[in-house]
Amino acid sequence: MSEEDESEFYWEYSGSASLDLRVFPDSALHSGQRDQHLNPSVVLEPEFLVEWNDGDDRIDFKPFLRLDAQDDERRHGDIRELKYQHIDDGWDLKVGFDKVFWGVTESRHLVDIINQTDAVEDVDGEDKLGQPMVNLGIQNDWGDFNIFAMPYFRERTFPGRKGRLRSSITVDTDSAEYESDMEEFHPDFALRYSTVLGDWDLGLAHFYGTSREPRFVVRSDRNGQPKLVPFYDIINQSSIDVQATFDEWLWKGEGIYRRGQGDDFVAFSGGVEYTFFGIIGDSGDLGLLAEYHYDGRDEDEAPGTVLDDDIFVGARITLNDVEDTDFLAGVIIDRLSHARSFSIEADRRLSDRWTIEAELRITDGLTDKELQYDVRRDDHLQVRLSYYF
């Protein structure tokens, strides 16, 4: 809905309400987990917009709320966005909570460092918490330049003791430790330059501040039982992301160089997507994807990572129909252990206001050396029915 009055203020509100259902075929593995095969939850995501000055000034507000039937930590709310934005000739300014995405690859986003991961939402790292910031953007013929100042750090969320998809030792998010004496108030800064050079999209960035990836230290709780405590280091990270489009071919690459977590290290993700346009029916497209992930981080002093020497292959189907039907299926294969992680995602509009999404995640061949070993019984299907208003 929207409305405009005589003072030339324009406002509107919209959003969605969703019913989520996770289905776990296997029983829970760890002590304290609720051994429920069905995990329902409700999600509310309203959006509010006010703008004036012919749209050059605006305020966006996007809160988030989930009510979960099983996990207290997944029963949470967040401010995804609450920002003031001013647009001028050749520059713009944003102040407040915002979400910023960097990245081009499909199965991992190495360079995406501005926002913290909302890890209780899903295991793929796609869901992010709102980040307080001041963002100055400068646009020129030679490219776009963005400066970020972030006065407050958001800690990563983790499933609670009763929840699924958690480690055998629970994470105590209330006892997080920091390298900086300023803790979550240590200021973070980032710079990013992006441009288009013919068929190439190029992004260069540098980040200084508190790492969004925590490593874990083992502490004892009041009963003498072990617990994992997140430890957040101060890091410098330089990054590059490149995407090239040549007809049906899409080449993608992301790379980082990080200092501050043990030995300096580099990591790279890159690959290709080839699309067969119009091969399905009259207008449906089929895309074939392949990517490789390398990560050279210190196993003892840096946060653990699953994708250190892995291959991703997948397929994307876009029907281009009135229902916006999409499918994405893929598998990540560890080159050393041959462990596999399968995923299938699908979404479709049911009407002007209703959509349905489904996501299936399965692991196979995990050994006790794999980071995912603790969730080996947490294969699941998630279905989301959403109403848009």
Mean pLDDT of the chain: 96
Q: How do residues 300-331 score in pLDDT, each as one tens digit?
A: 899 999 999 999 999 999 999 999 999 999 99
Query: What is the band of 255 on the pLDDT scale with cuts at 50, 70, 90?
Result: very high
Share of the chain above pLDDT 90, in %: 95
In the predicted model, is pLDDT for residue 4 greater than 70? no
In the predicted model, is pLDDT for residue 216 greater than 60? yes
Q: How do residues 89-110 score in pLDDT, each as one tens digit?
A: 999 999 999 999 999 999 999 9
Mean pLDDT of 379-384: 98
In the predicted model, is pLDDT for residue 6 greater than 80? no
Distance from C-alpha of 227 to C-alpha of 167, rounded to nearest angstrom: 10
What percent helix, strand, coil does the chain show, rounded to 5?
5, 60, 40
User: Residue 136 half-sphere exposure, CB side, CA atoms within 13 Å?
Assistant: 4
CB 105 within 8 A of CB 291: yes
pLDDT score at 299: 86
Cα–Cα distances (Å) from 242 to 84, 111, 137, 213, in that order, read 30, 11, 20, 23
Q: How many CB atoms lie within 10 A of CB 105?
A: 24
pLDDT score at 282: 85
Q: How many CB atoms lie within 10 A of CB 263?
A: 12
Mean pLDDT of 336-357: 97
Mean pLDDT of 358-386: 96
pLDDT score at 1: 56
In the predicted model, is pLDDT for residue 5 greater than 80? no
Q: Closest Cα partner for 115 from 95, 133, 136?
A: 133
Domains, in order of start, for the chain = 2-388 (2.40.160.100)
The three-point CA angle 333-267-235 to 5° equals 130
Distance from C-alpha of 186 to C-alpha of 175, rounded to nearest angstrom: 17
